[in-house]
Chains A and B, each alone.
Chain A
Amino acid sequence: MVSKAKRTKRKLRASALIAATAAAVLALTACGGGSEPKSADGKVELRFSWWGGDQRAKLTQEAIKAFEAENPNITVKAEFGDWSGYWDKLATQVAANDAPDIIQMDEKYITEYSTRGALLDLSKYKIDTSKMDEAALNAGKGEKGLTGIAAGINAATILANPAVFQAAGVPMPDDKTWTWDDFERIAAEVTAKSPKGTYGAAAYGTDEASLGVWLRQNGKSLYTQDGKLGFEPSDIKDYWEFLKDMSDKKAVPSASEIVEAEAAPLDQSGLATGKNGMAFWWSNQLPALEKAAGGELQILRFPSKTGKADDAGLWYKASQFWSASSRSKHPEEAAKFIDFLTNNVKAGEILLADRGVYPNSDVREAIAPKLAKADVKVVDFIDSIKDELGDAPAAPPKGAGAIQEIIKRYTSEVMFNRLSAEEAGKKAVDEMKSAIS
């Protein structure tokens, strides 16, 4: 009896030990599950992350397939999402030493990431930049070298929905001669002649592009060359006071409608759903917006103070950058992929103008016949403003990623009458200064 009990006990203990060890090993491996450097068959896996809508996801995945067909030993794994969640995720990944190999970067964050050593100096790798537009190429250069290759060229624009204008019986504005007062008047007229809930224009104040244009038209800028804030509280005060005036005249929506519109993704934005006659977008977003709106849209220059297109103060922006993680285990392959996206005509024929006008002049020419109507519109617009451009703006300094949120927040403080435009200007400028210092 006793011996039998002992034996079962010992057996039990042995199996328990095995079970416990197995559990412990499992727990440990679950934590240590990092990226595999190379699988047995010599294949390299790259991770590639970007932000953007459905259209972009589709095109980019096609481009990945084309790359994989040319490079059978490399597979590219896509990670994509909306703009809003993208940066939180990226920050966490980089901190956890788990950054994607290829990162779609924005000018607001590139200095942040590059000065902290998170991005690869791409000039040290085999990427042909000889055909790149010079300004676009320079935008990706910083103190840590070439940390981003421009994926496209963009301009800040106002997109208009002709259907809304037509329904209201208001003629489309002439964007070569219009002033901000014209903008307000026309937008208010559209609102007045449209069904309830439709407004002549969306509000600005939810991003820094419109503020950038406003400041440039007033002889200021968002940032100075030495990385400081380029404007005073009084400048942004005027910007908000005009917005408030437009909202009072119903040229743009009410405060709480503005807040709601902020959260909507591109496909459900006021312009796409026919609730806005005009809205502030980047030029490369036109094709996706046209698709969502189910009709044609028109690109307009920003209004100016003087009514002269030359004074609109527009500029070419690198829409996005291709960057690579400095901790990538396959920098060569990552560079190869970036080179493919930048210089390969096949990639160009797939991506077309989704990320802006191609900065590589050869690719741009080669894909011209393939461009869809919407893309042609974008390219034509970019070409047509070439002689009207103001000086290239200073690169956003470290910490510039916080500026948009500050503008947004104080815009609603002003719109909800919680702060006067003057107080908001002072507070906002203080906060912005400390964000980029």
Chain B
Amino acid sequence: MSAIGELSSMTRRKGPMTKEEKKANGRDNKAAYVFLLPWLLGLAVITVGPMFMSLYLSFTDYNLLQPPEWVGLDNFVRMFGDARLHNSLRVTFTYVLVGVPLQLAVALVIALVLDKGLRGLPFYRSIFYLPSLLGGSVAVAILWKQIFGTTGLVNQVLAMIGIQGPGWISDPNTALGSIILLHVWTFGSPMIIFLAGLRQIPVMYYEAAKVDGATTLQQFWRITLPMLSPIIFFNLVLQIIGSFQSFTQAFIVSGGNGGPSDSTMFFTLYLYQKGFGQFDMGYASAMAWFLLVIIGVFTAINFIASKYWVFYDD
């Protein structure tokens, strides 16, 4: 009997277990724990342990080289007066609030086009997914830097039509925009999820709508969007959480300093600089927990708001 079959028959059975069965069950549990051990160890050593350590460190003054010193809420109080931190929050919020909706909109539009029963769909799907695989990588961030440089590809194209473009990533007015664009470009994974969601919408709704004379646009607003709303919600939550934590692109594009003039100084980048550049690991830990709270609040708002716009068809 397969393990899954055994498991399901066990859970399905009603009534008290016999002594022998209990014993066997206990043995099975023990075996399960032994199997889980490597993973549990990893979780404890690599995730949970460091998390609690960082919680502890957030209440200390810790410079990496000497033992941490307890300072209470000092680090959290300091955050209120830190103008660069406030700026990093502004940058991060702009990135999330502009980048995520844009990215999801692009993902949805591409998914809708692909869903029209294009020939060679798997091929196109892969092509459009490609940026997502590459986008988070260091190589693409470096490429981006070249494309949007003063003498980069974008400006060369602009020069052909007589426009002298700015140094997109070296000008504080456009640098963040370039990184947001990089984020939007990696629309692949929400697109795949949208595509799967679109496939789930029963065709009969559209057929019925057509019979009633609904236009394509009406079909989209009245059928596609509501039916897709759980998927949109899912993508929104995931992308918001991910975007708050994004680091690599800003790190590489700005050469690690969040410049020019802190215009691409993401919260995570500032955290990194505080911790590893200025040896202020206690403060950096406090920042990390602050970010966790921010993400928690945003996710909670998301869930509360979802009651008003997400439609579950079941």
Contacts and interface: CB of A to CB of B under 8 A. Distances in A.
Contacts of A409: 257, 259, 261-262
Interface residue tally on B, bucketed by range: 35 or more
A84 B256 contact: yes
Contacts of A413: 261
A432 to B, nearest CB: 12
The SS class assigned to the B binding surface is: loop
Contacts of A423: none
A13 B145 CA distance: 55
A260 interface: yes
B34 A20 contact: yes
A168 interface: no
Interface of B: 27, 31, 34-35, 37-38, 41-42, 45, 63-66, 145, 149-151, 166-167, 170-172, 255-257, 259-262, 273, 276-279, 281
Contacts of A412: 172, 259-261
Given A27-B41, A405-B277, A259 B259 contact: yes
Interface string A387-428: 000000000000101100100110011001010000000000
Given A84-B255, A117-B65, A31 B34 contact: no
Given A23-B38, A24-B37, A260 B149 contact: yes
Given A16-B31, A27-B41, A91-B276, A257 B170 contact: yes
B34 A116 contact: no
A117 B64 CA distance: 11
B259 A20 contact: no
B27 to A, nearest CB: 8
Interface in A208-266: 255-257, 259-260, 262-263
A14 B243 CA distance: 46
Interface in A68-99: 84-85, 87-88, 91-92, 94-95
A256 B260 contact: yes
9 contacts: A16-B31, A20-B38, A26-B38, A27-B38, A91-B64, A256-B171, A259-B259, A260-B150, A263-B255
A267 interface: no
A28 interface: yes
Contacts of B259: 259, 262, 408-409, 412
Interface of A: 13, 16-17, 20-21, 23-24, 26-28, 31, 84-85, 87-88, 91-92, 94-95, 112-113, 116-118, 197, 255-257, 259-260, 262-263, 399, 401-402, 405, 408-409, 412-413, 416, 418, 435
A92 B276 contact: yes
Given A87-B277, A91-B279, A408 B257 contact: yes
B68 to A, nearest CB: 11
A416 B255 contact: no
A416 B31 contact: no
Given A117-B65, A117-B66, A412-B259, A256 B279 contact: no
Contact of A259 (B27, B45, B64, B260): B260
B41 A28 contact: yes
Nearest to B278: A402
A209 to B, nearest CB: 18
A91 B63 CA distance: 10
B37 A20 contact: yes
B167 A256 contact: yes
A91 B262 CA distance: 23
Nearest to B281: A95
A13 B149 CA distance: 61
B167 A259 contact: yes
Give the interface centre of B27, B150, B151, B260 by most chain A CB atoms within 10 Å. B260
Name the 5 nearest CB pairs between A and B, nearest first: A256-B167, A116-B65, A259-B170, A95-B64, A256-B170
